[in-house]
Amino acid sequence: MAAAAEEAAGSGGGGSPSSARRRLRIISGHLRGSPRAPEREALSSNPCKAQGGSAGPASGSIPKKRQELLKWNGWGYNDSKFIFNKKGQAEFTGKRYRLGGMILPTFKEWIEKTFGASLEHKTTSRASLNINDVPPSIVNEAFLQDLRDTKISYSQDAEDRVFRAHGHCLHEIFILREGMFKRIPDIVIWPVCHEDVVKIVELACKHNLCIIPFGGGTSVSSALECPEEEKRTIVSLDTSQMNRILWIDEKNLTACVEAGIVGQDLEKQLAESGFCTGHEPDSMEFSSLGGWVATRASGMKKNIYGNIEDLVIHIKMVTPRGIVEKNCQVPRMSTGPDIHHFIMGSEGTLGVVTEVTIKIRPVPEYQKYGSVVFPNFERGVACLREVAKQRCAPASIRLVDNAQFQFGHALKPQVASIFTSFLDGLKKFYITKFKGFDPNILCVATLLFEGDREKVLQHEKQVYDIATKFGGLAAGEDNGQRGYMLTFVIAYLRDLGLDYYVIGESFETSVPWDRVLDLCRNVKERIVRECKEKGVQFAPLCTCRVTQTYDAGACVYFYFAFNYRGISDPIHVYEQIERAAREEILANGGSLSHHHGVGKLRKRWMKESISDVGLGMLRSVKEYVDPNNIFGNKNLL
């Protein structure tokens, strides 16, 4: 440690005492968990204190009482939603997003034409949560007394419990609008640090309880649903108050962060020190670092920054057997199978991730959006393949098919001036008349470049030169920026659709390059066929985009929706169709999931996906780490 102190003080004696102490704290953080670091307790700069202590949770964007800010039966913020106003025009409410307060003049026509929907046909959903519908909390008094002794915050309030009983699958939101879950958590507990989690897991083992970890609540795999047959007390262990950055190591470009922090807060706090992770999943406003680890998440800028498995340096997880972590924080180890890969993707079945050390980078000095129009989807996919082959992909490159292009166009706000409208008209004339692009076939790629300004401009030219070889035309920065802005508001559309008999969902896969086009075509055709066979009276919307590219393949993301008027059990019909679509994906060489995870929704295909022996290996780990099934959410296995 003496050598570490000298290094911390800086060469030549130029370091200040405060910088030396800060460096020493960072180094002690690297050594935490090592039996050969007796100084670590004294050096730890982040002791776990009770509520109200100086080392308590940071002030995050999402409050502890989620109902104060978020919808109880839909996506996102209470003040943000799509509506049809008194004039019958679509608009997006609130001021949190750039689209807020804007009129969408063509959206009503699009939804009527696409789905056969009508403003005259409106559904009714419950305006508020009826406490009398909520299953009672069943918690034994001995456990409650032990819990009180720990001084860890908890709640048996009905609203708190319902908010943590679900993710955001279609059937979960439909249940909230129409009825209530048969089984929900009996108690919500809010640890504020790793040591609190250790205490909670020890109590759960002592009293034989079931724990379901809760991060941001954005799951789309039924991972948070409580098993109806579970008779034990179910604890929702909400990590949201574990939301601090414990240290930033500017020399190694790493940061140790508590697992409950949500994406927007992580980036905001890192930016104050001039850093970022670059990990930006579509759900980053609400999803948590621990959730990213538990589901093997991917972000839209993974081409530069990597997926979560590329960012993670060290993980600390509490299990019924004890704490799992490596003894050092290094870029790579050759010590048998990587234990991180037992943890990443474990979906709350083995324990609770409490702290994660991740790679960070300086905030890029320059950012530039772009877009390219292609004559058809085939040319667009060929271009993305070439970009991947030349390993020159920008931070993000996403290709939408024509149906999704039309969808995005319908969400275009009312223009600010006649001049803007005139320019749009000129662009449309040039692309459709002069260049001969068919507006019903063309597709669009949106681009995002980041980094040093000079390198970004060189990179941009390289990508546009490749696009030109495949018939692509540059379509401007504005269209690219709009595409990424829509990423964060598009999830709000499902709630509007449900108000007018339209149900919809997204699902994704990864697939080799030579199967991308076949898979996209076959899945769309299968969905149309299944809808017809299941009695859906209106043609469905089925659209896809290529969202992430790799050397050997790509991620394909589907949106699927239909008008369910005349169908007595729309959720059952929807699930049958989605199941058929998933079968089609697997038959066409696609994966079970690229980044959404498995949960309970897709676990029927796990044996097919990883083999009988592979599934047995996962079960063996589960049986050793959690022999009494304390983490009994029934995901994956």
The separation between CA 139 and the C-alpha centre of its own chain, rounded to angstroms, equals 32
Residue 557 annotated among the catalytic residues of the structure: yes
pTM of this structure: 0.92
Q: Are 93 and 81 in contact (CB under 8 A)?
A: yes
535's CB contacts (< 8 A; 6+ apart) are: 566, 567, 573
Reference 77, options 492, 617, 544; nearest CA is 492
Mean pLDDT along residues 37-51: 38
Transcribe 509-566 into DSSP letters.
Answer: EEEEGGGHHHHHHHHHHHHHHHHHHTT--SPPEEEEEEEEE-SSEEEEEEEEEEE-TT
Helix (H, G, I), strand (E, B) or coil at 196: helix
**What's residue 124's pLDDT?**
87
Catalytic residue among 557, 559, 564, 574: 557
**Strand ranges in 413-492 using DSSP code E only, listed in sequence order:** 443-451, 473-474
pLDDT tens figures, 383-393? 999 999 999 99
Mean pLDDT along residues 424-437: 69
**What's residue 535's pLDDT?**
96
**What's residue 326's pLDDT?**
97
Residue, of 632 and 38, whose pLDDT is higher? 632
Mean pLDDT along residues 61-78: 97
Question: Which secondary-structure segment (H or E) carries 246?
Answer: strand 245-249
Residue 7 Rama label (left phi>0; alpha psi -120 to 50; beta): alpha
What is the rounded end-to-end Cα distance, in angstroms, of the chain? Answer: 45
Torsion of CA 249, 252, 257, 259, to 10 degrees: 180
Angle between helices 402-410 and 107-115 (to 10 degrees): 140
Q: Are 305 and 279 in contact (CB under 8 A)?
A: yes
Mean pLDDT along residues 147-161: 98
Rounded CA separation 595/519 (Å): 18
* Residue 531 confidence (pLDDT) above 50: yes
Rounded CA separation 243/57 (Å): 6
- Strand 187-190 and strand 234-238: the pairing is parallel
* Residue 46 confidence (pLDDT) above 90: no
Q: In the structure, what pLDDT confidence band is assigned to residue 436 with cuts at 50, 70 and 90?
A: confident
* Residue 422 confidence (pLDDT) above 70: no
Please state which of the ranges 33-47, 322-336, 430-444 shows the lowest mean pLDDT.
33-47
Reference 381, options 555, 623, 187; nearest CA is 555
Rounded CA separation 427/78 (Å): 37
